[in-house]
Structure 1
Amino acid sequence: MAGTSGNNGNDRSSLKFQGFLDRLDGWGDLLNENSLNLPDKSSMASSSRTIKEQQGTSKFAPEKILNYTGLGYPSLSHDEAVPDAASEKELGNEYFKQKKFKEAIGCYSRSIALTPTAVAFANRAMAYLKIRRFEEAETDCTEALNLDDRYVKAYSRRATARKELGKLKEAMEDAEFAVSIEPNTQELRKQYDDIKALYMKEMAKKISGTAKSSVPEVHKPSSSAPQNAKAASVMGTDAKARESPLISIQESKVAKEASKESVQAVMNRRNEAKESVEDLASRAVSHFSSKHTKNIVVPKSAYEFEVSWKALSDDCHMQAHLLKMISPTSLPQIFKNSLSASILVDIVKCTSTFFREETELAIAILDNLTKVLRFDMISMCLSQFDRTEMRRIWNEVFSAEAVPMDHVETLTRLRSKYLHE
């Protein structure tokens, strides 16, 4: 009986193993018929590579890897590690160091599929930059910033991608924001300076092209025509007088003087033309800036707010308009944990300009700013200059005698939060 039982056990094992082989054969047939909904090519190629390279040496069994690709094969052991987002990202980093960028992209893609992170998106963007797929790099950086809007590397890499795509204005804004987050990083400053130089060069070309089409061409005087009245007078003398040596000398002197005056006249006209070009260019830049600042939209993140705010830095009225466009209750969601001390002080200053006309709106803005993450720490760590400026505004505007009585209690509470008195 024992022998029979042993044989039955062997038969069952053989049947299980044969069933496993049959499933493998069936999988191969399905692949050949293209009837199985497989993952994308990069994932399949990477999985095939992993199976071939890691059999016998990897901590992942082939069946475990097949199960990971979604083909439904069970693992052979519960002790074997399952591929996770972190391990795939690390494997991608190793491929990147070896300059195997396509393999790295595959690993980062699997890491993102398992657990999307800003780092994984930014790393894949860097790999895309290396193989000059700039649109994909820009998209990945945007996805990274949707997850972490203070991630400096994502701003820097998106600036690089946008520069290569010819989006110099957007690239400059990304580079500038990266510098605002890490002002002491020389590489970021150099990137910003380089992109800004390219952007200004492009703008100068556009403005110059506009100016040239508006300025009349300065014509050189004809060599056959009299150069001025003095030259004409000399040429009008009779032939007999021209034969006199004295007259010839005088004619030569007059001609030279006329030539000098003609050259000076041409130079004067050129200077006038240059001044008109510069004036036109100045007006074009002013018009461009004015048009740009007036086409503002409601910002949805701290980055968008700061870019718009800085673009309007020379127009307090437009900054107030931007601030009024934003619902006060949405300020905590916009800034999250990205509110800087300088922006906080600027907003308080701007709010003070329309406090008397729109008191309730101004108070709502001040109140909701205190709900931004890390507000207490930011307000406590203001520089001495900013603290003095903040106290002056509260004393002169928000705590003035003209404040309605029904708002005094609220403003007193807010004053303690802003000034910690």
Structure 2
Amino acid sequence: MDFQGFLNDLQDWELSRKDKARTMKSQAPQKEKLGVEKTSRGETSSFDFTKSTSGQYDLSRNKDPFGNVHSGLTTEDVPNAASEKELGNEYFKQKKFKEAIDCYSRSIAFSPTAVAYANKAMAFIKLRRFQQAEDDCKEALNLDDRYIKAYSRRATARKELGKLKEAMEDAEFALLLEPENQEVKKQYADIKSLYENEILLKASGALRSSLQGTQKVGKSEANIDRATIHPLPNTTEKSRAADVQDHTERHSRIKKQEMKASVQHLASRVASRVMAEAAKNITPPNSAYQFEVSWRGFSGDPALQTRLLKAISPQDLPKIFKNALSSALLMDIIKCVASFFTEDTALAVRYLEHLTKVSRFEMLILCLTSTDKHDLRKIWEEVFCSEATPMEYAEILDNLRSKYCVED
């Protein structure tokens, strides 16, 4: 910006110099009438009295020290954030990823944007520098926590880094932002499959040692079963062998089913233990993304969702959600508030008050489905404004009716 101002000053100076030169040219005939100077050779030349008295020289005769700079460098040639980003895109198309990263870095230096950070992350992914890609995606989301490409690219980087759970959460949130995005759908399905396989692999590994003993016992039982199969009278050797094989296959199928059930049971126990550990370490989320990921992670356990909500101070709700709160999540939060309204009325009312201060709240209420509007009215009448509601909060809740569009 300083350099642009300097160029503007140069341009203004040049224009004023040219105007002055034109003025002096128009005055030249008058000056010639004022006096003539004899040269040593007897030649005549125009003489400017103003020049001799004031000591000022015609600037049009002086060499312009900045002329070459000004003529060779126009305002369109001055690099800026947009031009560097576009240049980086061109390098990326040419698969010159290192050069593209340099351009994106310069664009960020001029003016940081989520797009420049996300593009730089994609270039790092192409170079298989996944940690740097994850870091740049994080910076992009700090600038715009609804930028779907940043979530998708961070999911790719985290998957390659082996952070499958975090990668799945990123892909899931990207899918929430654009449910019809086929590329994100495929990415989420692939990462989810990898994560589930990892969980099953860990579970089966923990189960393997205990199953080894069971398998040994099973083999012994199979041998005993073979020994106790007595051929019927007049049966051939071939039919007896078929009976033994059929019995062995049936026994193997039963054992496989038992093993699969054991693995699934252990996986379920692992998931429950992970959920319990997560509940111990609930921390206040700093963004809508963090809140929604944790909220959906506790889906099916209202107690954990309540603990997550209570970890947030009511006055921080507008700062956390900004303009990223959805109608569906708003209804989930209201239902959660209703679940502890009777036990902690003061806190519940504060949540209801500060929810109205979240950006686009009025629009979210208007966009509720007919079913959600019916549920909201029912909650309001049966919970928030029931006969058991303390009188000191009745007036506050009555004033909130219009904001939640539940007037009588």
Q: Which residue of 2 aligns with 1:122?
A: 118
Deviations 1:183-242 (A, max 9, x none): 1211111111111111111111111111212222423249998955676xx9xxxxxxxx
Going from structure 1 to structure 2, the CA distance change for 1:135 and 1:252 (only over 3 Å counts) comes to closer
TM-score under structure 1 length normalisation: 0.73
Residue of structure 2 aligned with 1:195, choices 157, 182, 191: 191
Question: Following the alignment from structure 1 to structure 2, what is the Cα–Cα distance between the partners of residues 117 and 97?
Answer: 20
Cα shift at 1:81: 4.9
1:109 matched to 2:95? The reply is no
Distance 1:334 1:88, change over 3 A: same
Separation of aligned partners in 1, 2:153 and 2:201? 26
Q: Is the 8 A contact 1:380 1:420 kept in 2?
A: no
Q: Deviations over 1:88-122 (max 9, x none)?
A: 11221222222222211111111101111111111
* 1:177 alignment partner AA: F
Q: Secondary structure at the match of 1:310?
A: helix
From 91, 94, 98, give the equivalent of 2:90.
94
CA deviation profile, 1:332-386 (whole Å, cap 9, x unmatched): 0000000000110000000001101100100111111110110111111111111
- 1:43 counterpart residue number: none
After TM superposition, the structure 1 stretch with the greater mean CA deviation from structure 2, 89-98 or 378-387, is 89-98
Q: Aligned in 2, Cα 1:79/1:265: closer, same or farther, shift over 3 Å?
A: closer
Cα gap change, 1:194 to 1:275, in 2 (>3 Å): closer
Q: Aligned ranges for residues 41-120 of structure 1 at < 5 Å?
A: 81-120=77-116
Q: Could you say if the C-alpha distance between residues 334 and 407 of structure 1 is closer, same or farther in structure 2, counting changes exceeding 3 Å?
A: same
Contact 2:168–2:191 (CA<8 Å) still a contact in 1?
A: yes
Aligned to 1:311: 297
**Which residue of structure 1 aligns with residue 131 of structure 2?**
135
User: What is the rounded CA distance, in whole Å, between the counterparts of 1:204 and 1:224 in structure 2?
Assistant: 31
| Aligned residues of 1:179 and 1:185 also touching (Cα < 8 A) | yes
1:141–1:157 Cα contact (<8 Å) kept: yes
Q: Please, which of 146, 151, 175 is the counterpart of residue 147 of structure 2? A: 151
CA distance in 2, matches of 1:393, 1:332: 23
CA change 1:188–1:262 in 2 (3 A) is: closer
Gaps spanning 5+ residues in structure 1: where? 18-60, 65-74, 235-246
How many correspondences in the alignment?
A: 353
Q: Secondary structure at the match of 1:205?
A: helix
- TM-score under structure 2 normalisation? 0.76
**Residue identity opposite 1:143 in structure 2:** E
Aligned to 1:58: none
Which of 1 and 2 has greater Rg? 2
2:351 matches 1:365: yes
Q: Percent identity?
A: 53
For the residues of structure 2 that align with 1:209 and 1:145, how far apart are their CA atoms? Answer: 37
Cα pair 1:328 1:368 within 8 Å, conserved: yes
Q: Does the CA-based 8 Å contact 1:84-1:114 persist in structure 2? A: yes
Structure 1 counterpart of 2:215, which letter?
Answer: V
C-alpha distance 257-200 of structure 1, shift in aligned 2 (>3 A)? closer
* Cα pair distance change 1:199/1:260, threshold 3 Å: closer
Larger displacement relative to structure 2 (335-344 or 187-196): 187-196
Candidates 212, 217, 223, aligned match of 2:208:
212
Q: Using the alignment, how far apart are the partners of 1:185 and 1:176 within structure 2?
A: 12
Partner residue of 1:174 out of 167, 170, 176: 170
Letter in 2 for 1:308: S
Which of residues 309, 312, 331 is equivalent to 1:323?
Answer: 309
After alignment, is 298-307 or 257-266 more displaced? 257-266
How far does residue 272 in structure 1 lie from its aligned partner after superposition? 4.1
Give the RMSD, CA atoms, in angstroms: 3.7
Q: CA separation of 1:135/1:261 partners in 2, compared to 1, >3 Å: closer, same or farther?
A: closer
Give unpaired runs (5+ residues) of structure 2. Answer: 1-36, 38-46
Alpha carbons of structure 1 residues 258 and 297: separation in structure 2 relative to 1, 3 Å? same
SS at match of 2:210: coil
Instruction: Indicate conservation of the 8 Å contact 2:124/2:130, yes or no.
Output: yes
Does structure 2 conserve the Cα–Cα contact (< 8 Å) formed by 1:302 and 1:339?
Answer: yes
Paired residue secondary structure (1:418): coil
Corresponding residue for residue 72 of structure 1: none
- The 1-side partners of 2:225 and 2:182 are apart by 62
Mapped to 1, the partners of 2:321 and 2:210 lie a distance apart of 45
Query: Following TM superposition, by how much is the alpha carbon of 1:408 offset from its aligned partner in structure 2, in angstroms?
Result: 1.0
Per-residue CA deviations over 1:12-48 (Å, capped at 9, x if unaligned) read: 969x79xxxxxxxxxxxxxxxxxxxxxxxxxxxxxxx
